[in-house]
Every structure is written in C-alpha cells, then in structure tokens.
Chain A
Amino acid sequence: MPVQKLNEWIGKVEGYLLTLILVVMIGLAFTQVVLRNFFSTGISWGDALVRHLVLWVGFIGASVAAKEDSHLAMDLVSRFLPDKLRKPTAAFVHAASAFVCALLTLASYRFMIGEKEMGSFLLPGVPNYWAVAIIPIGFGMMTLRFALKIITDIQFFTKGAK
C-alpha cells in the first residue's frame, strides 16, 4: 500500500531528524557550559533554543512512538486478552486515540496561532511560533498514524476471519 510506504519513509526522515537535533542540542548545551565556566560568557539565545529543541525531539519521538505502538500505557487487560479479541480491541483503542489526538491537534494549533499573534522571537530572525509549530505537527502525525493503524487492524481481522 502506497500509504504504508509513505509512512515508512516519513519514519526514516524522523529518525535522521532526531539524530541531527540531538547532536545540535548536545553540542550547543555543552558549548554553553564551557563558555560559562571558562569564559564567563554565553550565547544569549542558546538556552532558550536548547529548551525548544527538547520539544522538537519530544514530539518527533512521540510521533515515532505512535508508529511503533510503544507509547506508555497501563496494559492491565490487553496482555491477558485471548488472541482472537486482540485486533478488534486494538482497532477500537486506535480509533479513540486518533480522535483524542485530532482534538489535541486543534487545541495546539490554536495555541500556535496565539503565539504567532504575540509576535515574540525565539532568536534573531526566528519567530517563536515556528518553534512551537512542532506541537500541532506532532499531534497531527499521531492522529494520522493511529488512523492508519485502524485500517491495518481491520484488514488483519477480516483476513484472519477467512
């Protein structure tokens, strides 16, 4: 299915982005420590940028977690469910998750618009709302991925029934 292929491809891009951002984050945070302790100075926007990069790795990581079904969950009943019931309940849970994520996407989108109207800057030339845009993007990606999982759950179920 082409959608699945696209999903895999996005997953790869996310992996590289995570590596890149992490390396920048570690490099910048370490530079700040060195500058502060040895030269009593620092990059004025450095700390704020590092904090926002945490949001980026966080939300991209969460999007990957939705793809890999590895979000933290209670798992009280599902581990003990008989195999027959697993896929239908998974489809139900994924549908609910997609719905909640869609609402959270809207909420965070409105939050981002609010930031845009405030017009503050994260660093010279970079408005703050670019940095927080990762929140609606992340929730949006999770919505799509949970929705995609419903399809595969149902497909598996109908195939398994034959």
Chain B
Amino acid sequence: MNTLLFIGIGLIALLGAPLFVIFGSIALISFHSAGIDTSAIIIEMYRLASAPTLVAIPLFTFAGYLMAESKTPERLVALAKPLFGWMPGGLSIMAIVACAFFTAFTGASGVTIIALGGLLYPILMKEKYPDSFSMGLVTTCGSVGLMFPPSLPLILYGLFSGASIDQLFLAGLFPGLLIIAILSIYSIAVNRKVKEERHPFNLKQIFKAIRGAAWELPLPFIIFFGIYGGYATASEAAAVTAFYIFIVEVFIYRDLSLTKDVPRIAKQSMVLVGSIVVIFAVAMGFTSYLIDEQVPMHLFEWIRTFITSKWVFLLALNLFLLIVGSLMDIFSAIIVVVPLIIPIAKEFGVDPVHLGIIFLTNLEIGYLHPPVGLNLFLSSIRFKRSIINLYWVTLPFLLLLVLSLIIITYWPDLSLFLVHRLYPGTPVVP
C-alpha cells in the first residue's frame, strides 16, 4: 500500500506538483504509519518558528525586491563601468562584480538575470564581445554572489544546520571572491582579441557615480559593521536593511511609489517567502521524523562500508549535491537535505560552516546545470533564446564553476581561516 503511495508521490513530483505537497504527503504518511497524530508535523515547524533568525528571511527578501524594482541596477552599472572599464576585459569584470553585489542582496531568487541581465547584455554586445560569451556570462552571473552576506541561502543554511550565521557570512567571503576571480581571468583570456574601446580611467566620472549611488553604497558596510561590531544580530541587521532601503527607495530616490509599487512588491516578495515557509512547515516534521528513526546514522554506517576517507566522502557529497541542485531549487534543497547531511558530515569530520560553503557552491552550479537549471530558463525567457543554445554558451562557465567547487571543497582554510581568526574559540575539526 505504502509503496503504491510513494510511486504516486514520485509521479506527481515529476509532473510538477509543488514541493511542499510532496514533502507534506511523505510527512503525513510516515507520521500516520508510525501512529503519531499528524498535528505533530506542525508542532515541529512551530518549534523552528521560534528561532530568532527566521525574521531575516522576509526582511532581506523584501529589501532585495525593493532594490530590484527601483533604479538600483542602473546606478550600480553606472558606478561599475568607470571603476572597471579601463582594464582589459573590464566590462565583463564589471558585469561579474555588479551581479555578485546585487545577488547578495536579492538572494539568488533569479531577480539578477531579470533586473541586471537585461541592462548588461546590450552593453557587452555594444562593446563587441562575442554573443555566445556575453549570453553565457549574463546567464552565469545570475547566481554569482550567492556566498556573500546577506544572501538568503546562507541564512537558510544557518537556520537549518544550526551553524552560526555570523560565521557563515565570514566563511563565504573568500570562496565568493575566488569564483569572481576565476570568472574574471577567463573573461580576460577569452576576450584578448576583442577590440574593446578602452575607457580611460576617469576619476571625475567615478565620483559622479559614487554620488549617484551614495545612499545605497554604505549598506554592505552597515551590515558588516552592525554584525561584527557586535551592535546587531543577523536578524536585526535585516530589520535595519529593510527599513533603510524602504526609506531610501521610496522617500529619497523616489524610484517607487508608496501606493502603487510598494504593495505590488510586497506581494511578489512574500509569494517567494510563503513558498519557502510552507516547505519548511512540512519538511521539518519529515526530517525530524527521519532523525528520530536514526536514518542519517544508518545511512552513515552504510556509506562507511565503502567510503572511509573524508576526502572521498566530500567527492561523493559533491556528486550527490550536483544532482540535487539540478533537480530542486536552492531553498528547497537546503531545507530538505541539510538536516539529513549534517549528522553524516559531522561523523566524517567536516566543519558545518565549511559544509555550508560547499553546499552553496554546488547549488550555485545547479542554477546552470542542464536540464532544468533555473538561470537557463530565466535567460531563455528574458532573452528569447532556446534552452539548447543556452546549454552550449554556459558550458565553459559551468566547467569553471566546477573547478572553483573542487578548490573550495579541498581547501577548507579558504572558507575557514577568517572564521578562526575572528572566533578563536571555535573548535577546529581535524
């Protein structure tokens, strides 16, 4: 009977049923067959609702959507152009940096491609970059920056793994910069022959652009100073950010109308928050059931029969996460997979903070991974390209991201040394 049900659930999952329905039905079946009242599913979820970090999710999401809908992308590009335009391959680097900054705030929900991609692609084409390179770069950059604070996936990972969010924010910095560096070097190398019009370094233009974005630029510093100066927790930083961005975009720049735009943006952003909240409403019950049944421990013992080394385990984990990342969106993947992986990874001696960075790098690749990477679809809609074409143009970028993943996985100190510096008390897992 249950086998039949699970086949049915698998079928509707493939046909595109909401993930919360899938995990909800699995939770209902497992609780019911264990003879536990199904209201216990909701109790588990309510327990997590008392985590103070939860508030950061709607607040940062709303702030990110406000920025995406206002003229922040234009101001960002206006600033990045004179800053990087004088370098060889400068405009492609500008595109990467602008996207990374923007994605950190919008949480990689795909807004970057819609809001920034449409601005950047024409600029790249005008400067005679090859079309396939420009398209590939814009599609890839939709998720670069995922590891910079205060990105939503980082916060979600912290919430579900129990790892400190302050430490995760620090740990993401250098791996994020590594990815930017690798993509930039590639861009310079590939476009040596592009007769790009060099824009001379112009201090005046930079100052003008800085003045233009003067209200938005301090934001990353406010967040960093707030958290690491000990003035605010991550969720308090989220409250300040949301409040600040709201005032700046609505009352200072006046890009958004309080009565027309704000309600629409509130609704759009909370649809995303809502679809995350319901998944965790049902997944918490499901995963805590699995943990009570010691499924991760059994899984660990089974894995240990053929994997004994931490490094081989990390390789297997990468392959597993790439598959997950190409099937599921990043939010669902974190909510469902993290609670199950954490105990196993701990047994292999993987630091939960480092694991988080590995996790996010994998899922970042998932955005580009055929057949259903989200960025591929967004780009295909935004730029009216065929998916197959996008598979090809993003392939070199996909390989570069895999290279970054290998470095990030096998060089834990890249993620962890800042954490150990600032939090000397944290145990170093051997």
Contacts and interface: CB of A to CB of B under 8 A. Distances in A.
A, B co-complexed: yes
A40 B19 CA distance: 43
A26 B243 contact: yes
A51 B273 contact: no
A124 B16 CA distance: 44
B242 A26 contact: yes
Nearest to A27: B243
B182 interface: no
Contacts of A72: 18-20, 275-276, 279, 328-329, 331-332
B180 to A, nearest CB: 28
A55 B20 CA distance: 16
A95 B37 CA distance: 24
A32 interface: yes
A50 B59 CA distance: 11
A52 B275 CA distance: 17
Interface in A55-111: 55, 57-66, 68, 70-79, 89, 92-93, 96-97, 100-101, 103-104, 106-108, 110-111
B372 A64 contact: no
Interface residues of B, number: 66
A47 interface: yes
B327 interface: yes
Interface stretch (B115-123, B134-142, B233-241): B233-241
A71 B20 contact: yes
Interface stretch (B46-54, B97-105, B197-205, B406-414): B46-54
B43 A111 contact: yes
A26 B18 contact: no
A137 interface: no
The B interface, classified by DSSP as helix, strand, loop or mixed, is: helix
Interface stretch (B262-270, B314-322, B343-351, B360-368): B262-270
B263 to A, nearest CB: 4
B191 interface: no
Contacts of A150: none
A75 B41 CA distance: 26
Contact of B278 (A37, A62, A78, A79): A62
B14 interface: yes
A33 interface: yes
B231 A26 contact: no
B130 interface: no
A132 B46 CA distance: 9
Contacts of A75: 16, 372
A123 B392 CA distance: 57
B373 to A, nearest CB: 11
B144 interface: no
A92 B8 CA distance: 11
Given A65-B274, A79-B377, A93-B12, 19 more contacts: A14-B267, A18-B263, A26-B62, A30-B240, A33-B240, A52-B49, A54-B55, A57-B274, A58-B278, A59-B277, A61-B272, A70-B275, A71-B19, A72-B276, A77-B15, A96-B25, A100-B25, A107-B38, A111-B43
Closest 9 CB pairs of A and B: A61-B274, A58-B277, A29-B239, A71-B18, A62-B274, A61-B270, A78-B16, A111-B42, A110-B39
17 contacts: A18-B263, A26-B239, A27-B243, A29-B59, A30-B243, A57-B270, A58-B273, A60-B270, A61-B277, A65-B274, A71-B19, A72-B329, A74-B22, A103-B38, A104-B28, A110-B37, A142-B278
